């Protein structure tokens, strides 16, 4: 039986039907910024495998870190044991994140790191003798992962809350920020958030949001001024702030972490996706000393501990990936990518099918007026030698930072061409 046949009959892919599966393309190997299909077709990758492979594929430095670690200690439990790969990674994470974040929890995926952040916030107030502060507040159009706890703070409409409403805790949703990245944030822009946090502060453990860039919930960029106001409101009303930097972290939005763009630091921060440069699954939740010590007061312990916590292979690769990033001129490169994405995607705006074109950091988005037909648009991209995977009305790229200018141009011109066929 061919790969494709067995796949079709037995494998789930993300968000797909078992009986009416969409086309999948069999991949033979990867190299640099290319995905090579079984039939030899080479695709320039615009997705960095869901925004993770910032240094490109098969990066020799990351492969060496993985090999070296595999030979000494692929894995060991983290209960009662520790090791250099975990300590080195935690040291780096504390160093590159905002100063108040000092305590690191190593999780195995982004969703788990969000679950951990939520549990930290709830345990913090429980330990403080305020167990009634156990709800969360967020903004619409957010995305925080697919597990039940994460789903409860995803956008209620595009996060498909209706199907799961019987099991999802009900949280507080403020309107999505309407002030764009380059706008300020007026009292009017902030009014809904302000009103809701005032009303609910007594029962809120934390506000959770994606700083400045809302990713899978709509690829929206909003004003750092808004985020600054969120931080002030959280302080004023005694509510913790969780920044989900899983998509934005490690330079993607133009700063090491997008929180920095607002000059703020959260009480709890989630990192994931590009933390290992896309080679291994790993995530982390960082907390301030105040949160960590609060949870641990009166003999309290933090109640979470995944089987593969602190996996040495993933930690070693993450450390090597962060070193690679810090040794590169990532900030200048991301700024160049912004320029090229903006100029390369600008012609799309002429198409009748297009509602908006926007870029920030190493993120370029073309928002269409109508949702795309996934199978057919994907085929058009593959025909043109690029890998772009839209969702809903959004055709976007988040390429590896090491992509060449020529490859970037190939990506953007393919997008303009394919978008021109829509409508």
Ligand X SMILES: *Cc1c(COP(=O)(O)O)cnc(C)c1O
| Binding site residues, ligand X, CB under 6 A | 109-111, 114, 143-145, 210, 215-216, 244, 246-247, 272-273
Nearer Cβ to ligand X (244/407) = 244
Nearer Cβ to ligand X (216/320) = 216
Distance in angstroms (rounded) separating the CA atoms of residues 182 and 185: 10
Q: In the chain, count H helices and then E strands.
A: 14, 16
Residues written for the chain: 423
Task: Considering only CA atoms, give the Rg of the chain.
Answer: 21
Nearer Cβ to ligand X (247/386) = 247
Nearer Cβ to ligand X (284/320) = 284
Q: Give me the phi and psi of 396, to 5 degrees please.
A: -145, 160
β-strand partners of 173: 138
Do 19 and 366 meet the contact criterion of CB atoms below 8 Å apart? no
Using Cβ positions, the residue closest to ligand X within the complex turns out to be 110
Q: At closest approach, how far in Å is the CB of 276 from ligand X?
A: 11
Q: At closest approach, how far in Å is the CB of 246 from ligand X?
A: 4
Q: What tokens appear for 294 in the block?
A: 């609060």
Q: At closest approach, how far in Å is the CB of 197 from ligand X?
A: 21
Residues with a known catalytic role: 15, 143, 244, 273
β-strand partners of 414: none
Distance in angstroms (rounded) separating the CA atoms of residues 315 and 304: 19
Q: At closest approach, how far in Å is the CB of 307 from ligand X?
A: 16
Nearer Cβ to ligand X (340/398) = 398
- Nearest-5° angle of CA 205, CA 207, CA 208? 120
| Residue 140: count of CB within 10 angstroms of its CB | 20
Q: At closest approach, how far in Å is the CB of 146 from ligand X?
A: 6
């Amino acid at each position: 039986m061919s790969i494709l046949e067995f796949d079709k009959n037995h494998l789930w892919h993300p968000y797909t039907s078992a009986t009416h599966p969409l086309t999948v393309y069999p991949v033979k190997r990867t190299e640099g910024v290319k995905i090579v299909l079984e039939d030899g077709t080479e695709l320039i990758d615009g997705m960095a495998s869901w925004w993770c492979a910032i240094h490109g594929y098969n990066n020799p430095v990351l492969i060496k870190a993985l090999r070296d670690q595999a030979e000494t200690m692929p894995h060991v439990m983290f209960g009662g044991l520790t090791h250099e790969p975990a300590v080195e990674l935690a040291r780096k994470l504390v160093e590159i994140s905002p100063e108040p974040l000092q305590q690191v929890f190593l999780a195995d995926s982004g969703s788990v790191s969000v679950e951990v952040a939520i549990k930290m916030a709830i345990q913090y107030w429980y330990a403080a003798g305020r167990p009634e502060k156990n709800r969360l507040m967020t903004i619409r159009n957010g995305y925080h992962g697919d597990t039940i706890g994460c789903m409860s703070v995803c956008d209620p409409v595009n996060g498909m809350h209706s199907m799961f409403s019987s099991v999802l805790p009900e949280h507080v949703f403020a309107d999505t920020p309407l002030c764009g990245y380059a706008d300020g944030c007026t009292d009017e822009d902030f009014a809904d958030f302000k009103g809701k946090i005032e009303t609910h502060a007594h029962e809120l453990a934390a506000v959770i949001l994606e700083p400045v860039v809302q990713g899978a919930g709509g690829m929206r960029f909003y004003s750092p001024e808004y985020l600054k106001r969120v931080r002030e409101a959280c302080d004023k009303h005694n509510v913790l702030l969780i920044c989900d930097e899983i998509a934005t972290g490690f330079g993607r939005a133009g700063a090491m972490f997008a929180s920095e763009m607002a000059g703020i630091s959260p009480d709890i921060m989630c990192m994931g996706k590009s933390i290992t440069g896309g080679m291994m699954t790993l995530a982390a939740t960082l907390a301030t000393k105040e949160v960590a010590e609060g949870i641990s007061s009166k003999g309290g312990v933090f109640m979470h501990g995944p089987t593969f916590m602190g996996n040495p292979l993933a930690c070693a690769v993450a450390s090597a990936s962060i070193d690679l990033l810090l040794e590169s001129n990532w900030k200048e490169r991301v700024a160049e990518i912004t320029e090229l994405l903006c100029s390369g995607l600008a012609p799309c705006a002429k198409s009748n099918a297009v509602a908006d074109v926007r870029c920030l950091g190493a993120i370029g988005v073309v928002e269409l007026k109508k949702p795309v037909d996934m199978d057919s648009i994907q085929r058009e991209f593959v025909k043109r030698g690029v890998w772009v995977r839209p969702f809903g009305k959004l055709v976007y790229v988040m390429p590896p930072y090491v992509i060449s200018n020529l490859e970037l141009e190939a990506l953007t011109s393919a997008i303009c061409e394919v978008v021109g066929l829509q409508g």
